[in-house]
Amino acid sequence: MGGRFALGLMALDPERFRRATIISAHPGLEDASQRADRLAGDRAWIRRLLEDGIDAFVDAWESQPLFATQAGLPSAVLEQQRRRRLGQSPTGLAASLEQHGLARMPSLWEPLTAFPGALSWIVGSSDARFLGIAREVVRRRPATRLHVLPGVGHNPLLECPEILSDLLV
């Protein structure tokens, strides 16, 4: 969700930012039916979280195909990530999904394409869905600099922090 929040700040006050780097983000759903489908999905996650508890929720969350590339990470990295997830407040997570999930977020495609600053977009090559989104960003805003990280999935911060830090310098 961090990328979406960053896009929201850019949309609110684009002149404040001379440049931005966005990592594996979604600028929002433009179609009402997609938004309704996503809201139903988010609410199913919320029900699972509140009815089954944080442990069952995290088990299911981590088993999503979106995170499959993380299976090869060192066990210490995975254990630390899992501890962070398990340490979250279930009611806080539920509220976050309800209020800040993709279904609730306005589409930021238009302000993104109008952003006057330098824009870099980072995505993993193994994250097919978000790679497609990144390519659409570049199609709509050709001045965007796209960085596709080979063999990386949805979370470059976790999967390749060294490569990412080189890009962020």
What's the CATH code of the domain at 136? 3.40.50.1820
Q: pLDDT by residue (tens digit) across 89-135?
A: 999 999 999 999 999 999 999 999 999 999 999 999 999 999 999 99
Phi/psi for 20 (5° steps) reads -150, 145
- DSSP H or E run through 120: strand 118-124
Domain, as residue range, for 154: 1-28+106-169
State residue 1's pLDDT score: 79
Contacts of 112 (CB under 8 A, 6+ apart): 7, 10, 11, 27, 119, 137, 140, 141
Question: Does one domain contain both 111 and 136?
Answer: yes
108 is written with which tokens?
């930021």
Report residue 168's pLDDT band, with 50, 70 and 90 as the boundaries: confident
How many domains does the chain contain in total?
2
Is-contact 112 27, C-beta < 8 A? Answer: yes
- Decide if pLDDT at 140 tops 80: yes
pTM listed for this prediction = 0.91
Question: Does one domain contain both 115 and 155?
Answer: yes
> Strand pairing partners for 19?
118
Where among 84, 104, 124 does a domain terminate? 104
Please tell me the distance from the alpha carbon of residue 85 to that of residue 66, in angstroms, as a whole number.
Answer: 16
> Strand pairing partners for 146?
121
Q: What is the CB-side half-sphere exposure of residue 14 using CA atoms within 13 A?
A: 12
Q: pLDDT by residue (tens digit) across 35-94?
A: 999 999 999 999 999 999 999 999 999 999 989 999 989 999 999 999 999 999 999 999
Question: Does one domain contain both 119 and 159?
Answer: yes
